[in-house]
Structure 1
Amino acid sequence: MILTVTPNPSLDRTYEVPSLDRGEVVRATGDRMDPGGKGVNVSRAVAAAGQRTVAVLPLGGAPGRFVAQLLDEQGIEVAPVPVAGQTRSNISIAEPDGTLTKINAPGPELSPEEQELLLETVRRQSAGAAWIACCGSLPRGLAPSWYAELVARAHAAGARIALDTSGPALLAALRERPDVVKPNAEELAEAVGRPLATVGDAVKAAEELRELGARAVLASLGADGQLLVDDSGAYFASAPVAVVRSNVGAGDSSLAGFLIAGGSGPEALASAVAHGAAAVQLPGSVMPTPADLEPAAVTVTSVIPQDQALTEAVS
């Protein structure tokens, strides 16, 4: 079982449009409503793969009830933490060329009692979990050290932690030695405080995160592929993508693929890339099923293309 923790979940509506023209009336060619939040997406991807998952998340108001209903319909066990504020609602606008415009609401502010109840719910639900995936931004009221506290408590209980967050929350949590962290290129550059122009730059940045405490770093480099840097060395993997429809949740699908495959080593990296490549070819935040995956298309190597320029260099 993979337990996910999403401190700031959302109700996500995605519109597909021919083009986004500012100030004009735009008619959508398709739309869908999904439960959102990075940890929620990991649970959705795990469930789509036929594996058991439990989602811990604070829920409030009508949007919160709808999120729980949608997750239940997808066969995901929900461990809700009732909060006084309303769960946020987000909007994504997807264009045919893969351009995505997102409007994310801030979400409710959690009281000290609600924060502690969230941690306690994670503790109660973690028995028997192969991994705990802690994902996404922190809602108002939670200090950057909140993830560090969660990692410390989880490790004290003998659980393995995968952390997907950024900024001060990521840096604060590194001192508690999360088992794997999953930044994208932009988050990796932010963490080390300098631009990344090549795959080699990304490897060096990942190694610095390991020096700060991360036991392994799974880094998404967008269209260029993904990196895994751990005790055994560094690995680079990529897969061709015919058409990008939406990258919403693609990184979360990658993390799910990594954890499903055991959460370590090149085989897990290959699974992560296969899941991410499949996800970007699906509409909205639809998560891939095993039928959508093309594992034979993934290449994994320990010979890092150090000088390969990133398609989207990060400044």
Structure 2
Amino acid sequence: MIVTLTLNPSLDRTIEIARLTRGSLTRATATRLDPGGKGVNVSRALAAHGIRTRAVVPCGGPEGEQLTALLGLEGIDVAAVAVAGHTRSNVSLAEPDGTVTKINEPGGSLRPEDLERVTESVLTEAAGADWVVASGSLPPGVPDGYYGRLGRQLTGLGVRFAVDTSGPALAGALDAGPALVKPNRDELAESVGFRIDTVADAVRAAEAVRAAGAEAVLASLGADGAVLVDREGVRWGESPVDRGRSAVGAGDAMLAGYLAGQTSGEDALIEALSWGAAAVRLPGSRMPGPSDVDRTIVRVPTTPDLTRSLSGPHNAHGLEQIR
């Protein structure tokens, strides 16, 4: 079983529009409401493939009740922890060319007593689990070192710990020696302090994160695929998508694919890339099921082209350029 923890879950409303024009009336062509949050999405993807999972989520107010109900409709086993704050709502405006404009609320604060109940729930659910996955941002009131503290407790129980977060929360998690870290390109650059403009840059950064404590690093690079650096070596692969509909949750689907394979190295990377690509082809934050996944589009060369330049925007302002 794979347990996920989402400290900052959400209700995710995706509104499809023909084109976003600021200051004008824009009519929706379609809309959907999904349970959201990075760990929640990992559980949704796993459950869609019939893989046993349990989602630990703090839930507050009517929005929290609605989140729990939506997860139940998807057949997700939920460990809901009642908290005093509110569950946030997010809105995504999706255009036909794949452009998505996201508006995310910060989420409600977690009091120390709320956080302690969440921790107790995770440790209880971790008994007999293969993995515990901590994903997403830390809400107000949660110290930067929380994931690291939780990871050390899980390691003491003999449970593998995976982390998908950024900034100080990621730095704090590395102290616990997680079995897997899954940053995206910008998060990886922020964690090491330099720009990532080529596959070689991504590999060097992933190796630095491993040196800081992670056993394996799966770094998603958007349209340029992903890099996996672990004890077996360095691998890069890609899974081209001709007509993407939404990249929301694609990184979460990628992480779920990696964990679902119960493997490592090339096989794990192929599974991760195929699940991530499947998510990009789906609307909103819908997670892919078995019929959506096409492993034949994945390419993992024996010798990766480390000189390959990465495309797309890179939020790395103020970071030095590697020469």
Band the TM-score falls in, shorter-chain normalisation: over 0.9
What is the CA–CA distance in structure 1 between the aligned matches of 2:81 and 2:175, rounded to whole Å?
A: 27
1:236-275: CA deviation from partner (whole Å, max 9, x where unpaired): 1111212010011000000000000015221011000000
What is the CA–CA distance in structure 2 between the aligned matches of 1:262 and 1:282, rounded to whole Å?
A: 25
What is the CA–CA distance in structure 1 between the aligned matches of 2:257 and 2:127, rounded to whole Å?
A: 21
What residue number does 1:124 align with?
Answer: 124
Q: How does 1:119-158 map to 2 (within 5 A)?
A: 119-158=119-158
The change in CA–CA distance for 1:85 and 1:21 in structure 2 (over 3 A counts) is same
What is the CA–CA distance in structure 2 between the aligned matches of 1:29 and 1:267, rounded to whole Å?
A: 39
What is the CA–CA distance in structure 1 between the aligned matches of 2:155 and 2:263, rounded to whole Å?
A: 16
What residue number does 2:287 align with?
Answer: 287
Matched, 1:247 2:247: yes
Q: How does 1:186-225 map to 2 (within 5 A)?
A: 186-225=186-225
Residue aligned with 1:310, SS? coil
What is the CA–CA distance in structure 2 between the aligned matches of 1:259 and 1:22, rounded to whole Å?
A: 40
What residue number does 2:32 align with?
Answer: 32
What is the CA–CA distance in structure 2 between the aligned matches of 1:164 and 1:244, rounded to whole Å?
A: 23
- Displacement, 1:297? 1.5
Matched, 1:115 2:136: no
Does structure 2 conserve the Cα–Cα contact (< 8 Å) formed by 1:200 and 1:304?
Answer: no
Matched, 1:52 2:52: yes
Name segments (4+ residues, structure 1) moved above 3 Å: none
Does structure 2 conserve the Cα–Cα contact (< 8 Å) formed by 1:12 and 1:33?
Answer: yes
- Displacement, 1:279? 0.5
What is the CA–CA distance in structure 2 between the aligned matches of 1:162 and 1:272, rounded to whole Å?
A: 14
TM-score w.r.t. structure 2 length? 0.96
What residue number does 1:185 align with?
Answer: 185
Given residue 57 of structure 1, which amino acid in structure 2 is its aligned partner?
V
Given residue 110 of structure 1, which amino acid in structure 2 is its aligned partner?
L
What residue number does 1:63 align with?
Answer: 63
What is the CA–CA distance in structure 2 between the aligned matches of 1:302 and 1:106, rounded to whole Å?
A: 42
**How large is the RMSD of aligned CA atoms in angstroms?**
0.9
The answer for unaligned runs of 5 or more in structure 1 is none
What residue number does 2:4 align with?
Answer: 4
Given residue 129 of structure 1, which amino acid in structure 2 is its aligned partner?
A
What residue number does 2:321 align with?
Answer: none
Given residue 285 of structure 1, which amino acid in structure 2 is its aligned partner?
S
- Displacement, 1:300? 1.4
Residue aligned with 2:235, SS? strand
Does structure 2 conserve the Cα–Cα contact (< 8 Å) formed by 1:3 and 1:129?
Answer: yes
The change in CA–CA distance for 1:194 and 1:87 in structure 2 (over 3 A counts) is same
The count of corresponding residues between Structure 1 and Structure 2 is 315
1:73-131: CA deviation from partner (whole Å, max 9, x where unpaired): 11101001110111011111111111111111111111111111111100000112111
Does structure 2 conserve the Cα–Cα contact (< 8 Å) formed by 1:234 and 1:302?
Answer: no
What is the CA–CA distance in structure 2 between the aligned matches of 1:32 and 1:20, rounded to whole Å?
A: 18
Identity, % of aligned positions? 53
Residue aligned with 1:218, SS? strand
1:150-202: CA deviation from partner (whole Å, max 9, x where unpaired): 10111011100110000000011111100000000010111111111101000
What is the CA–CA distance in structure 2 between the aligned matches of 1:20 and 1:154, rounded to whole Å?
A: 45
What is the CA–CA distance in structure 2 between the aligned matches of 1:132 and 1:300, rounded to whole Å?
A: 27
What is the CA–CA distance in structure 1 between the aligned matches of 2:232 and 2:47, rounded to whole Å?
A: 30
- Displacement, 1:312? 2.2
Residue aligned with 1:287, SS? coil
Residue aligned with 1:196, SS? coil
Does structure 2 conserve the Cα–Cα contact (< 8 Å) formed by 1:196 and 1:313?
Answer: no
Does structure 2 conserve the Cα–Cα contact (< 8 Å) formed by 1:83 and 1:114?
Answer: yes
What is the CA–CA distance in structure 1 between the aligned matches of 2:109 and 2:302, rounded to whole Å?
A: 44
Does structure 2 conserve the Cα–Cα contact (< 8 Å) formed by 1:17 and 1:28?
Answer: yes
The change in CA–CA distance for 1:87 and 1:313 in structure 2 (over 3 A counts) is closer
What is the CA–CA distance in structure 1 between the aligned matches of 2:7 and 2:260, rounded to whole Å?
A: 22
What is the CA–CA distance in structure 2 between the aligned matches of 1:312 and 1:213, rounded to whole Å?
A: 29
What residue number does 1:94 align with?
Answer: 94
What is the CA–CA distance in structure 2 between the aligned matches of 1:296 and 1:305, rounded to whole Å?
A: 20
Residue aligned with 1:208, SS? helix
- Displacement, 1:313? 5.5
Residue aligned with 2:12, SS? strand
Given residue 172 of structure 2, which amino acid in structure 1 is its aligned partner?
A
What residue number does 1:274 align with?
Answer: 274
